[in-house]
Structure 1
């Protein structure tokens, strides 16, 4: 079974990453969720990534704050796409997490998204886009979702439009 694996550095990350989970649910994309820290439990993370690959994980999402080495650590353990979600918090309010996630050495890519909620939501959409490359039904759902977003924007605009 193809699925998306979501790995968070701590339980406190779950509130934001639940936004990601809701999008995956909406699109009926199977997923797994796990807490594993790049620093506090590197063996747990490594063992999980290897098992998840065997079970069919096609995309990994790593979400962490502060030093935020989780997505990079995941990338070192797999050749599957890794999406990084830097989370806010700490003394630098997410800047440290952003830089830790985005500054990967060449040959070890992590697709780094926005900080916090927007990044969590976009991580789900990006994972879905990756899966949709091989799944026409999922691609059709994405097209429908885009159309619905356009229609909502046009409806919202009509409610407040003012022209000379």
Structure 2
């Protein structure tokens, strides 16, 4: 896979997002060891992130070289409790909520579908300062990632707990650098 290549949907794993519970096989609150065990077919590279005081686990498919793009990043507070999962737009699994596909999509299309979903649930779709939509009640922020001359959706899934009052507060600082 080249730097700008986007994985075909047919080649992506298919996961479901359950707000405040799980993203595919990853359950919020699990440890890095539990996450690694749940991610069959993937390898993880662990990195402490300062000044956030969190541990980042970057998961790659086991068959891919270490230099390949990570399919997703999982963040652990105090190194022992999963609180955030970010899925790569180009190579991550396809994650859905109520039939809405969230990964590697045209941002305006996902935004429209999220607006419909949030309205049906009686919630309001909000926007972060840089214009990305977020569904705070669902623990979901739709960021974007460049893939050549286009941008595609790169969802951030999180649980707030005692760590933050807003989505912006909980966003790991290294995720703010991805464009």
TM-score range, shorter chain: under 0.3
What TM-score do you get using the length of structure 1 for normalisation? 0.27
Higher Rg of the two aligned structures? 1
Considering fraction of residues, name the structure with more strand: 2
Considering fraction of residues, name the structure with more helix: 1
